[in-house]
Structure 1
Amino acid sequence: MAPSRILMAAIVLVGLSGFADAPQRYVVSYSVSDHGVAQMRGQALISEEGDVSVQGSDQDGGHAFNATLNPTDDGLVLVTSLWRGATKLGEPTLAMERGGQAKAEFGSDQQRVVIEIAPAD
């Protein structure tokens, strides 16, 4: 085989193996409901060692959702914060296995917050 063909084959193999090792992507979502009616919600893609921020606004002001997905020895930890205007609604941290999913629910019947993460693929 000619040297240039060997080099191209090596580049293709390295490229394919790098693609196979790409970090898994997850969908992280949040929702806030008031008396059972959704007031705000959103979702975004995130991967290990990544972070996302989702912001929205309405007639009552804005909201912001921030999340960071950190690897640990035992799996992954999703660190979040959810704001409505200047009021922090919560900062839940969710632990999970790689490739797994997690969910946090808190609040009351009047105001319920749900944050979830699940594999995207």
Structure 2
Amino acid sequence: MLSALAAAFALAVAGPLQTGEAPDRYSLELTVIHAGVQTVGARAVLVEDSSAQITVQDVDGLFEMNAQLTPVQGDGDDDTLALTVSIIDGEAQPFEPNLILKRGGDASIVIGQEGPDGVMFEGLTVTLKPLAEDD
């Protein structure tokens, strides 16, 4: 599926939340759309300076996503994080987007093709959002 998704690739990163200290735990959500239908919907908690994995196996094969969220070193800015993602869809070539975001900020990776109605027809979305302390 990923080999067919090269038609569109978009990243969006928002700034940090304006509420006290930035959280060190994030919600990592994965949504996969195939032929206009959501086939995968998964969520994991990703803690700063650690990794998370989402694996789904169905009749079409194995789909795996590994994500790592680490502080960026060496630039003097303690508020910068790097999100590294590896997405494997069966035997297809892995897709490995990386992005930099502000600690406490939201990030989104969208890869896919839209149908004539402007709605994603084939693709995936990875979303990272900070969790509140009580989540």
> In the TM superposition, what are the counterparts of 1:1-121 in structure 2 within 5 Å?
24-72=24-72, 73=77, 74-88=79-93, 90-109=95-114, 110-121=121-132
Measured after TM superposition, the shift of residue 77 of structure 1 is: 1.2
Q: CA deviation at 1:37?
A: 0.8
Q: Which has the larger radius of gyration?
A: 1
Per the TM alignment, residue 94 of structure 1 is displaced from its structure 2 partner at its CA by 2.6
- Any idea what the Cα deviations from partners look like across 1:56-115, whole Å, max 9, x if unmatched? 111111111100001113511110011121224622213211111111112213422111
One-letter code of the match for 2:49? Answer: E
Query: Take 1:40 and 1:82, find their aligned partners in 2: how far apart are those partners?
Result: 13
The list of structure 1 runs, each at least 4 consecutive aligned residues, that deviate by more than 6 angstroms after superposition, is none
Corresponding letter in the other structure for 1:91: E
- TM-score between both structures, scaled by the size of structure 1: 0.73
Q: Which runs of 5+ in 2 are unaligned?
A: 1-20, 115-120
- SS of 1:90's equivalent? coil
**Between the two proteins, what is the percent identity of the paired residues?**
30
For residues 84 and 115 of structure 1, the distance between their equivalents in structure 2, rounded to whole angstroms, comes to 14
Q: Distance in 2 between matches of 1:83 and 1:41?
A: 15
Aligned length in residues: 100
- The separation in 2 between residues aligned to 1:46 and 1:66, in whole angstroms, is 10
Structure with greater helix percent: 1
